[in-house]
A and B are shown apart, each in its own frame.
Chain A
């Protein structure tokens, strides 16, 4: 099983890096780019033989307890089709 975990800042949290990228892109002549938010993604591979239920539980725990700081960030999990 393989999952991708995407971690982003909560919409209410200021993202200085994303804002800098947006401003730079504007100055290179693309004013149509209204907003950029920077985040992280993690590819997670589970060992062979892990059941789908257990796999979902593990990745959920990993994303919640390790990959995300719940004070400022949120995450979503995308499962790769088999």
Chain B
């Protein structure tokens, strides 16, 4: 079982993700530079938070042209597990791996704080260790987390049980239907704005995020990885 953490120019949560997998979860993990063109040997790929390409043009828009993204697409098409956290989620929507877009927060403010999200489905490799409706304490840190999709896309996400997380109580950014995280059609790609990497140890204020990584480990172990 091997995790990979992609580093784009401007990523800044790559170390957090690496640390969470290596030291908290205790599984093998390697960094993947964005110029890489092969993901051979990896079982799960993390696109970390940060400000890839300085958020120039639109958040996540230029990272889709990094060579590694073609490999990430092929990896995901073959059923490989991909999680995009924060800027990683923005990159996944810009790359077309997930539907919709992440717009400027309605408040126009950059928000960095703990809040609550609820697990909306347990039917995914990222949420199998959670209970449906379970409330997680987890931090956000973003200026563009306002999820937008047209009504047909939202209906499809609902009908196919692809809304992974919703904000519980307060909606911090204006996201439609309080969406905090969504799955792709194959359920092997998750994008979420909150940071499980910053909530995997009690010293950081919560261990709830760890259950998302544990779900991934559980799914990989079940697949014989």
Interface residues, chain A, with chain B CB atoms under 8 Å away:
13-14, 16-17, 20, 66-67, 69, 71-72
Contacts and interface: CB of A to CB of B under 8 A. Distances in A.
12 contacts: A13-B103, A14-B106, A16-B105, A16-B174, A17-B104, A17-B108, A20-B108, A67-B57, A69-B58, A69-B101, A71-B101, A71-B149
A71 B106 contact: no
Nearest to B100: A71
Contact of B101 (A16, A17, A66, A72): A72
Contacts of A17: 104, 108
Interface string B79-111: 000000000000001100001110111111000
A43 to B, nearest CB: 14
Nearest to B65: A66
Given A16-B105, A72-B103, 8 more contacts: A13-B148, A16-B104, A16-B107, A69-B61, A69-B94, A69-B101, A71-B93, A71-B100
B127 to A, nearest CB: 25
Interface of B: 57-58, 61, 93-94, 99-101, 103-108, 148-150, 174
A71 to B, nearest CB: 4
B148 A72 contact: yes
A-B complex: 8 closest residue pairs judged by Cβ atoms: A71-B101, A72-B101, A16-B108, A16-B106, A69-B101, A69-B58, A72-B148, A16-B104
Contacts of B107: 16
B98 to A, nearest CB: 11
A23 to B, nearest CB: 12
A71 B154 CA distance: 13
Contacts of A67: 57
A19 to B, nearest CB: 9
A17 B107 CA distance: 9
B104 A71 contact: no
A27 B61 CA distance: 35
A7 B148 CA distance: 18
A67 B94 CA distance: 11
A71 B148 contact: yes
Contacts of A13: 103, 148
Contacts of B150: 71
A57 to B, nearest CB: 19
Among the interface residues A20, A66, A71, which one has the most CB atoms of the partner chain B within 10 A?
Answer: A71
A70 to B, nearest CB: 9
A69 B150 CA distance: 13
Nearest to B59: A69
A25 B116 CA distance: 36
Contacts of B104: 16-17
Contacts of B103: 13, 72
